[in-house]
Structure 1
Amino acid sequence: MTALSGLGWSRFFAAQLDPAEVGLVPVRIATVHRSRMMAETGTGQIRVYPQAHATATEFAVGDWVLVEPGGQTVVRRLERRTLLQRQTEGARTRQLIVANVDTMFIVTSCNDDFNIARLERYLALVNEAGITPVIVLTKIDQLEHARSYSDEAKALQRDLPVVALNAKAPDAAGGLSPWCGPGQTVALVGSSGVGKSTLLNALAQKAPTEAQLTGSIREGDGKGRHTTTSRSLHAIAGGACVIDTPGMRTLHVSNATAGLDMLFAEVTELAPNCRFKDCSHAHEPGCAVQAAVAAGDLSAARLDRWHKLQAENRANTVLHSGPRGNKTSNAKGRPR
């Protein structure tokens, strides 16, 4: 299992194997297409297919699956340790982003792409997934001082790691090495053009002929062009794996109550001191949260963003009701 360990295989997955499955081969999903997938074996990639009753959309890059020796059909998908997913506009089911990831590098550049509200959305979903978030600030070589960006990012969540770097510099991968040890899996998320592909090339230490394509920035608005079009898993220097993802144009918060509580810990911890248990922290008398704002201990803008994300989460979160075995699903509030 040495080769598999380098792909992230651990006791968590090994413990799921039944005695009758000893002869099956565990492989890790590296790419997902409409009707087929590619999987890493530890010695190379093979093409695999879902069973007849399943579709490829039920699998995420990073999943561990079992196949017959020499076979291509997935026999069973193993239980996921972590899963990042999102709600997309008009979709009934949530889109699977990545699975079994240890650390999420939330990448943003020190220019017009830097957006506090969007970073908070990423953090809420990553927290909910049980993945360790790290904010990665790129393009610091284009600034005289990047300290203000780092300070703003660190203030988003308690004990949040923030790394500022130039993805094109020879030592770019060094700043991220604490999360890229043997057997670890990291993923890159962020808008197009922030330097994810450049960072992937630095982490993987690929030769120029094998490097991921990178794109330029539009001069008019500082936005990037899509260079990564699908999620994919890569082995990187140091013995870890990295999953690259395309830029996401929309990011709705849903099913992320615990993630929001972690993100806005200062609000969560003040809430029990409010006079009313169901305090909305908007207008009720005896509200400890509003008192903190009045005292200057909590930013009014921060609380306003908390209100917006809480409302969005309630509107997008599906509730299950009805007798057991005959439940119906409904979203609170208006569908988005």
Structure 2
Amino acid sequence: MDHDALRDLGWDAFFADQRGDDEDALLPMRVASVHRSRLVAETGRGRQRLDLPLHATTADYAVGDWVLADPATHVALRLLDRRSLLRRRTEGTDIRQLIAANVDVLFIVTSCNDDFNPARLERYLAVANEAGIRPVILLTKIDKVDDPAPWIARARDLQRDLEVVALNAKSPEARDRLAPWCGPGRTLALIGSSGVGKSTLLNTLAGLTADTGQATGAIRESDAKGRHTTTARSLHPVAGGGWVIDTPGMRTLHLGDVASGLDMLFAEITELAPECRFRDCTHQHEPGCAVLAAVADGRLPAERLDRWRKLAEENRANTPVQTGPRGNRTTLPRGGKRR
């Protein structure tokens, strides 16, 4: 086992401490791609196809997961606990689709055109916050606008102390701009709509060319929408150290079970709420509401509160509740629908 290669891949004490005394012969591998009935894993010295243990399905695994595999049979015998997990709710069900695991930094990619949608970006931020992953907004297409400063300002207003980087995804300088978040053992993930430059950024980070890298698709300037060029999640090495997970274009992200993530996203509302006259204030019509007072005097934009209401309502509707006596609780869906 090449310990240096594993460390570069992200293996550390958090995962090593999970190995039992009887598992020394098993090899740590990191899931690089998930297929219908098998996994492909990165070993630190190359890629290896892995088969699943009995009763397991590929839906149980995310790109970025660490597994312990049998070196003789190439079966992934055990899935290790995750440090972080990005997932999204599947509309109409209580199923949470796994997006990526053990991510350190989430690059939320949007562009300086009509793709810039604060409501959608706030959804990405809430999911990252809930997972304990550091979010960074990447603004692409800066070569298409006269001045990216207004776009940067709008992005920074989405969350307190949010890091925002404006760049040209096609420029080699983009790798230098993102270097502070990269390095051996670090894992990044790219998320955003189709056509905003995720595949181009992936090629730039990995030091790939148009011939050897991910296919890229142009965005339609008429409506700022792009074509899907990434069809599956996958793990790639970053030139200079680190790993990046690319994800398919994602315009719809339904929220559920992200209450803490929303509290962080809307910190200004979270901090005002205790000053309301009523503990269960909905910030809609109650007298003595500190949040509505902040809207009235201009400290809080009304549209910001409207977006908080929508996301908070959606999250409540999609978050299962526990019922029954303590020690014997049952989790039930709320039965609400997204509006």
Which TM-score band (shorter chain)?
over 0.9
Compute the displacement of 1:34 (Å).
1.3
Q: Could you tell which deviates more after superposition, 54-63 or 290-299?
A: 290-299
Compute the displacement of 1:335 (Å).
6.5
Percentage of identical aligned residues: 62
Counterpart for residue 222 of structure 1: 224
Inter-CA distance 71–325: structure 2 relative to 1 (3 Å threshold): farther
Q: Could you tell which deviates more after superposition, 245-254 or 193-202?
A: 245-254
What amino acid is the match of 1:257?
A: A
Compute the displacement of 1:206 (Å).
1.4
Compute the displacement of 1:70 (Å).
3.2
User: Is 2:19 the partner of 1:29?
Assistant: no
What amino acid is the match of 1:113?
A: D
Counterpart for residue 176 of structure 1: 178
Q: Could you tell which deviates more after superposition, 97-106 or 316-325?
A: 316-325
Counterpart for residue 234 of structure 1: 236
Task: Tell me the distance in 2 between the aligned counterparts of 1:51 and 1:90.
Answer: 29
What amino acid is the match of 1:229?
A: T
* CA deviations over 1:211-254 (Å, ceiling 9, x no partner): 11101122432210000000000011121000000011311111
Counterpart for residue 93 of structure 1: 95
User: Is 2:202 the partner of 1:200?
Assistant: yes
Residue pair 2:235, 2:245 contacting (<8 A) in 1 also: yes
Residue pair 1:135, 1:162 contacting (<8 A) in 2 also: yes
What amino acid is the match of 2:333?
A: N
Instruction: Say which SS state the counterpart of residue 299 (structure 2) adopts.
Output: coil
Structure 1 stretches of 4+ with a deviation exceeding 6 A read none
Residue pair 2:318, 2:333 contacting (<8 A) in 1 also: no
User: Is 2:328 the partner of 1:329?
Assistant: no
Counterpart for residue 247 of structure 1: 249
* CA deviations over 1:130-161 (Å, ceiling 9, x no partner): 10000000010011111111000001101100
Which of these residues, 114, 125, 128, is aligned with residue 126 of structure 1? 128
Instruction: Say which SS state the counterpart of residue 276 (structure 1) adopts.
Output: coil
Task: Tell me the distance in 2 between the aligned counterparts of 1:52 and 1:92.
Answer: 24
Q: Unmatched 5+ residue regions in structure 2?
A: none
Residue pair 1:65, 1:77 contacting (<8 A) in 2 also: yes
Residue pair 1:319, 1:332 contacting (<8 A) in 2 also: no
Task: Tell me the distance in 2 between the aligned counterparts of 1:143 and 1:223.
Answer: 17
Instruction: Say which SS state the counterpart of residue 144 (structure 1) adopts.
Output: coil
Give the paired residue count.
Answer: 336
Counterpart for residue 293 of structure 2: 291
Inter-CA distance 178–88: structure 2 relative to 1 (3 Å threshold): same
Task: Tell me the distance in 1 between the aligned counterparts of 2:303 and 2:269.
Answer: 13
TM-score (norm 1): 0.97
CA RMSD of aligned residues (A): 1.3
Residue pair 2:63, 2:233 contacting (<8 A) in 1 also: yes
Residue pair 1:49, 1:56 contacting (<8 A) in 2 also: no
Residue pair 2:94, 2:333 contacting (<8 A) in 1 also: no
What amino acid is the match of 2:247?
A: T
TM-score (norm 2): 0.96
